[in-house]
Structure 1
Amino acid sequence: MTHMTAAKAIVEVLLREGVEKAFCIPGESYLSVLNVLYETPRIELISGRHEGGVSFMAEGYAKASGKVGVCFATRGPGATNLSIGLHTAHQDSTPMVAFIGQVESSFRGREGFQEIDLADYFRHLVKWTVELNDARRVPELVHRAFHMARSGRPGPVLISLPQDVLDETAEMVFQESEMLSHPRPDRQAVAKAKEILRHAKRPVIIAGGGVTSTKSAKELVELAEKLQVPVATAFRRFDAFPNQHPYYIGQLGVGAAPYLVECIREADVVLALGTRFSQITTQNYTLLTSGTKLIHVDISPDELNKVYRPALGIVADTKNFMLDLLAELGESGQSKEREAYIQEQREKYEQYSEVRVTSGQHYVNLEGIMGDLMNHLPSDTIFTSDAGNFYGWMAKHYRFQEEGTFVGPTSGAMGYALPAAIGAKVAQPEKTVVAYAGDGGFMMTVQELETAVRCKIPVLAIVANNNMYGTIRMHQEKHFPKRVIATELSNPNFAQIMTNMGGHGELVEKNEDFVPALQRALASSKPALIEVRIDPQQVSAARTIEELRAAQPAKQM
């Protein structure tokens, strides 16, 4: 039992939970916590330029490190700015704990300065919210927050910190504990899964976040080979399975390849590993047919039967399920028919994803850029990505060879790539980390370039610039051809912005200049940025604006 302030007790719990890095925008409502962190060198506090960026940093750090991401923000505007990263963490099942300052207890309910009922506001965005109203309960509630963030389906947790409570002193009782939350499947369920898969004619595995979060690509490779089953990855889970493996057949994302959608719709058995069957993965909830037997494995019982009714639903840690199924399978024979089926799907993937166009006539061609990145970056390079049509070239052409090499938001959040790359680089400083973004999203958090320079975090940003909100322009042309409004942009010279910030900037206007620019950027050992000018007419990897307009007549108003 130790006598201390609530602020000091919060930091003590962080230390006991193994927190080494935290991200913040400073605010007067939690100055007492900042004051304790000042004398706590074991925790590095990284201050950003906007709460949205800070929340993305913590979320990217959590994904890249496998630890709980921690961030701090002040009340009111700071809290609402922070919310985008918490929503992303919720949809991506990323463990985070957010501490937000709050109005003094005696001022609550009077519409005090920047007052928001934080617990109520965030309730549907996070796994759990709590307001700290009693200093004595700091050990209990903060330890519980970390447990909630990690356990079951991981996710974000928010703690509201009334300013006056932080300075209250109390006798704190800290109890050491270790929480293990990796449930194993029922043995009968594993045996039944084995039976269903053994008798399948055209099975497919869909690998989701349950594979990436448990770093179990190795086990998935072994399982796929032993079962002779091809593997597709869920939306933005490219690295759940090595893309160069002959059993990999593609990713289920926006505009998924028709051959892959057809393959899964014709499958007689689908083994879904740790995926929540999101709208994007399921192609607007149309992916599975009534003739498909679904084996759905997820750590959260809430995810089973939420979208599709499984023939067999198994509540378990994905890695433990695979290990138990591998043990149950023992030695298995090989089927020539199954191998031919897999080879057919693999050949379709290779034909679809092959880089054919290596340069553009008047602009940089992103297909060629994908080939250059694969040829000139280490295989363990970590990519973070914004949302936008520029990402379609990566989704189609880039082949992720190692797990833990893609960090992207299934929430479709713009402005994510740069701050998430900062968080990922803090987590994995020895690896090359590349933020891949379009001009629209990049401008939403461009100020975090200063954070990277000030804190000496050498990330590389690649910005595809077509001076428009490309995704929305695509939809605009599909539904209201030629009626262009609100999607055209003008941009500064991004490379010059990076140089002015103190980093290394490059502008590339033709493909043959990209690799030398890439090499110079990496050799600079500074935060770096390469702006690539892309064709505004090529609004997606599949269509130009004129092709979209020709496909559908203008609507009559």
Structure 2
Amino acid sequence: MAPLSAGHLIVRQLEEHGVNRVYTVPGESFLDVLDGLHDSPIRTVVCRQEGGAGFMALAESRLTGLPGVAMVTRGPGAANAMIAVHTAWQDATPLVLFVGLIPIADRGRGAFQEFSLEGWFSTTAKRVMVLDDERRAADTVAEAMHLAVSGRPGPVVIGLPEDVLVRSAGTGTVPPRTPASAQPAPEDIVELAGRLAAAERPLLIVGGDGWSADDGERLAAWAAAARIPVAADFRAYDAVPHTSPAWSGWLGYGRADTLAARLDEADLLVFIGCARTDVLSDGYTRGAAAATILVLSDPEATGHAGRIDLHLAASPAVFTAALPEAAAARGHRDGTWMEALAADQLRFAVPLPDGGSGVDLGLAFGQLEDRLPDDRILTYGAGNATIWGARYLSHHGAGSLVGPRNGAMGLAVPAAVAAALLHPDRPVVAICGDGDFFMNAQELAVAAAQGAAPLVIVVDNGGYGTIIAHQRRHYPQRPSGTALANPDFAGWIRSFGGHGERVEETAGFGPALERALNSGRLALLHLVTDPATMAPDTANALTQAAAAAAGRETDAEPVPAALEGIR
């Protein structure tokens, strides 16, 4: 075999790792890699903006467990991709970003689109690597793919000087490295069982990436038998099936007040795949005193705040395979505690009318829950509109949710496009606010070009709803910088050959949904809502928070964390 260029060898090494798709906005700085993709079985998904390409790669990773791969050009392209790298960093999601660079000889001379790759990404990536030696092409890719999934998963950035890519690099790929998989010590499992058996009010909290449907089902069945409720971290709602008798809802933005109170009542917390973070704990204010067991593959427990009584360095798959007998973990505990939390969640998930003009989202999302099959995949960006989906739409297995845990807007659409490419046989629904939707709406052109057919729900209240809610609390009667002027989103999607409808009344939502789902095409429903309507329980949250700030008592319920930060 004739020697390959470094660019072509990079592609061959990605093939060795089982990469099926790369997401890219092309650039002249990595033309040789693009040429290598021409004859490769890897599918090249051409995106419309680098942030969208990065988000698609992140969604691929979230749904498969393998590092998603994006390729962008230097300078402005890398700048656009930064949002996906930050999301992967904070969310602990494997991602490999290739960035084309100027030729080595031009460094330090202010060349066109020159920038410092390490200066930009070193604080938000596990490692920043630059391929200065073409002979290291295969090894560098293999190392990046390994690093992305090892320990605490995250993004790895590889710089590709364009002159290095065209040099001869040989023919040899290298075998992919198998990530180390720590096994919990038998004595730790015994201690876990003993602590659970002795607890009166234990609570399992699941989260993070790396869950399979089997892992979630196994844990949920075990927890139900051991009489232990299971809650989820923010945007990890799909880790366990919601049909389990142990399912108790989620923590973080939009969570039920009742579950937050239970977090304070628990006498033993077991975090599996996630840590006690600020979002989960309402700003480090809840659940701090309880005895804590951490099941997390990251030996450094990055991001975990507070007490750790036992740390099992294991992935969800390894841990669920090593669970003790349910009877040993149950002790003398009956089902009272678990059943109370499950009942709280069942009440919380019953769709309630919101009132106001336009489409009532409480009722509309109740219809959406009833109409979608169990194998649906839901994608979210950030903002006020996502709270209805999180509260009223259920999940039946891992790998059915993609959403940014760092609050990044603009992820819902590109994530839905990637999910539809990955699972063309499953219904994929993006839940967006009008602000979130138009941050990366251009990626629906990719869906049209690739034959993908997600359904996009756009909630249009004419403004940045989350920020409006905060303004009403801190600066009442002084709206500023939050209004949006929107086009006809339904007409816009029809210009791509898709199915689009504008829905202005609740009664019209059900029939419009049916037509969209039956169209077999890329579809969008533009839901016009009352700008005064905030997410469920938000008005109560504002009342309570304002009273607390003024030092007053109020008859309102405890403050729910229903307000999600935009960035």
- Which TM bucket (shorter chain)? over 0.9
Inter-partner Cα distance in structure 2 for 1:427 and 1:16:
19
User: Deviation of residue 245 (structure 1)?
Assistant: 1.9
AA aligned opposite 2:64: S
Inter-partner Cα distance in structure 2 for 1:75 and 1:213:
36
Q: Deviations over 1:256-281 (max 9, x none)?
A: 22211111111111111111222211
The answer as to whether partners of 2:503 and 2:527 remain within 8 angstroms in 1 is: yes
The answer as to whether partners of 2:410 and 2:437 remain within 8 angstroms in 1 is: yes
Inter-partner Cα distance in structure 2 for 1:289 and 1:545:
25
User: Deviation of residue 240 (structure 1)?
Assistant: 1.2
Aligned to 2:350: 354
User: Deviation of residue 175 (structure 1)?
Assistant: 3.1
Distance 1:548 1:228, change over 3 A: closer
Q: CA RMSD in A?
A: 2.3
Unaligned runs of 5+ in 2: 551-567
User: Deviation of residue 546 (structure 1)?
Assistant: 13
- What TM-score do you get using the length of structure 2 for normalisation? 0.92
The reply on whether 1:226 has 2:225 as its aligned counterpart is yes
Query: What is the SS of the residue equivalent to 2:375?
Result: coil
Aligned to 2:523: 528
Query: What is the SS of the residue equivalent to 1:368?
Result: helix
AA aligned opposite 1:75: R
Aligned to 2:265: 266
The answer as to whether partners of 2:271 and 2:294 remain within 8 angstroms in 1 is: yes
Matched residues, percent identical?
A: 36
The answer as to whether partners of 2:197 and 2:330 remain within 8 angstroms in 1 is: no
The reply on whether 1:342 has 2:341 as its aligned counterpart is no
User: Deviation of residue 553 (structure 1)?
Assistant: 12
AA aligned opposite 2:19: V
User: Deviation of residue 429 (structure 1)?
Assistant: 1.5
The answer as to whether partners of 1:538 and 1:545 remain within 8 angstroms in 2 is: no
Query: What is the SS of the residue equivalent to 2:469?
Result: helix
Aligned to 1:295: 293
Distance 1:498 1:140, change over 3 A: same
Aligned to 2:564: none
Aligned to 2:127: 128
Inter-partner Cα distance in structure 2 for 1:346 and 1:319:
24
Q: How does 1:369-518 map to 2 (within 5 A)?
A: 369-518=364-513
The reply on whether 1:311 has 2:309 as its aligned counterpart is yes
Distance 1:394 1:332, change over 3 A: same
Inter-partner Cα distance in structure 2 for 1:545 and 1:536:
17
Distance 1:301 1:214, change over 3 A: farther
Query: What is the SS of the residue equivalent to 1:209?
Result: coil
Distance 1:330 1:308, change over 3 A: same
Distance 1:215 1:33, change over 3 A: farther
Q: How does 1:48-63 map to 2 (within 5 A)?
A: 48-63=47-62
The answer as to whether partners of 2:142 and 2:174 remain within 8 angstroms in 1 is: no
Aligned to 1:75: 74
Inter-partner Cα distance in structure 2 for 1:544 and 1:162:
53
User: Deviation of residue 473 (structure 1)?
Assistant: 0.8
Q: Which deviates further from its counterpart, 252-261 or 156-165?
A: 252-261
AA aligned opposite 1:302: E
Q: Deviations over 1:164-204 (max 9, x none)?
A: 00111133443335514322111111111111111111111
User: Deviation of residue 244 (structure 1)?
Assistant: 2.4
Query: What is the SS of the residue equivalent to 1:338?
Result: coil
Inter-partner Cα distance in structure 2 for 1:490 and 1:412:
23
Distance 1:477 1:44, change over 3 A: same
Distance 1:252 1:334, change over 3 A: closer
The answer as to whether partners of 2:12 and 2:173 remain within 8 angstroms in 1 is: no
The answer as to whether partners of 1:99 and 1:158 remain within 8 angstroms in 2 is: yes
Q: How does 1:155-194 map to 2 (within 5 A)?
A: 155-194=154-193
Query: What is the SS of the residue equivalent to 1:206?
Result: strand
Inter-partner Cα distance in structure 1 for 2:545 and 2:5:
68
User: Deviation of residue 99 (structure 1)?
Assistant: 0.7
Distance 1:143 1:211, change over 3 A: closer
Distance 1:2 1:272, change over 3 A: farther
AA aligned opposite 1:323: A
Inter-partner Cα distance in structure 1 for 2:101 and 2:394:
46
Q: How many matched pairs?
A: 550
The answer as to whether partners of 2:377 and 2:426 remain within 8 angstroms in 1 is: yes
The answer as to whether partners of 1:504 and 1:521 remain within 8 angstroms in 2 is: yes
Inter-partner Cα distance in structure 1 for 2:407 and 2:303:
24
User: Deviation of residue 228 (structure 1)?
Assistant: 1.2
Aligned to 2:556: none
Q: Deviations over 1:217-271 (max 9, x none)?
A: 0121132023210011111111112222221111102142221111111111111
AA aligned opposite 1:458: A
AA aligned opposite 1:314: L
Aligned to 2:89: 90
The reply on whether 1:195 has 2:194 as its aligned counterpart is yes
